[in-house]
Amino acid sequence: MKVSVVGAGSFGSAVADLGTRCNHDVLLWAHDPKVAEAIETTRSNPFYLPSLRFSDRLSVTASLSDIASFSDLVVMAVPSHHYRTVLSQLAEHIHYPIRVVSATKGIENQTLKRMSQVTAESLPDRLECFGAFSGPTFAIELSRGDPTAAVIASRDAHFAEEMQARLSSDTFRLYRSDDVIGVELAGSLKNVIAIAAGVLEGIGLGFNTNAALITRGLHEIRRLGMALGGRPETFAGLAGMGDLVLTCTGSISRNRAVGVELGKGKKLETILTETRLIAEGVKTCKSAHDLAQRHQIEMPIIREMHSLLYEGATAKESIQRLMTRTLKPE
């Protein structure tokens, strides 16, 4: 099988490497020609995942035209706020129906749409089928072959089964689901809760507080997810609880790292300018907040993270408001 991977950040690189380890030919697209040149020259990604060494089965390009002609299976691994633009540019070179897998965990700010909806709009007559790829998958651990499990969700059962069979290996176990909405929302919203988990560490709070945050955070994710059509079992699975626990507790989580710095008092603008890596939860927080208001879903953690990120609140103020809410049954 030939696989086109769009996005040469750390996770896109790890997914491309996974494809070659499953004995597929992979073409990886980098937005920055310098990144593409570095990968081609060094057989690694010195900018985003320097520990990874790529197989000879991987090629790299900075041309979306190359991606379109290489394969009818495209894995999108670009940040959510660039997803529509990149896919629309790719669509200009596509002249036949393609299969798309989204490895992007985010929700558009302006439209509040998931990547499955953005894909359908960007490829109205050239989308054969769509899958959402999610789960507890730190890029560096996936790339070094640590035993890992994730989920592929698609309304096309045959496509989900094919992806499951072709991308699973002795170190990577892929489960399948038909709950695209639940998998996309779980993978996106957990990033906001992970920022909150980092804030707790940044201000010096401990395990009790973090456990409460993760538990109540999952409750908020499930409430909004079910209101939008997701199924409850999805939020108890790999895309929900699994990814939430990883991102809230793993020391290499980007979103958690942003929260740690916020908790220490650093300004968001300063934090974001100090790294090349994208913390999806920062932008997704806006979308989550707006979705909660639109659907009248109470999400106090999301609301307080929005206050902290965008309204000038302090971490201690946000925690105080959470702890003094009206008492109620669990």
Q: Closest by alpha carbon to 305, among 295, 292, 294?
A: 292
CA-CA distance, 193 to 196, in Å (whole number)? 5
User: By CB neighbour count within 10 A (0-12 exposed, 13-18 middle, 19+ buried), where does 176 fall?
Assistant: middle
Look at the alpha carbons of 14, 18, 21, 27 in this order and tell me if their dihedral is positive or negative: negative
Distance CA 218, CA 236 (A): 9
For residue 98, report the phi and psi dihedrals to the nearest 5 degrees: -125, 165
Considering the candidates 113, 190, 283, 286, report the single residue annotated as catalytic: 190
Distance in angstroms (rounded) separating the CA atoms of residues 237 and 65: 37
User: Do 258 and 279 form a contact (C-beta atoms < 8 A)?
Assistant: yes
How far is residue 137's CA from residue 150's CA, in Å, rounded to a whole number?
Answer: 7
Cα 191 from Cα 228, distance rounded (Å): 18
Chain-centroid distance of CA 30 in Å reads 18
**Residues 6 or more apart whose Cβ sits within 8 Å of residue 86:** 6, 7, 31, 64, 76, 78
The DSSP element (H or E) to which 255 belongs, if any, is: helix 254-263
Contact 211, 167 (CB under 8 A): no
Handedness of CA 155, 17, 121, 227 (dihedral sign): positive
Q: Is 2 a catalytic residue?
A: no
What b-and-e string marks burial along 100-135, b requiring 16 or more CB atoms within 10 Å of the CB? bbbbbbbbbeeeebbbbbbbeebbeeebebbbbbbb
Just list the catalytic residues.
190
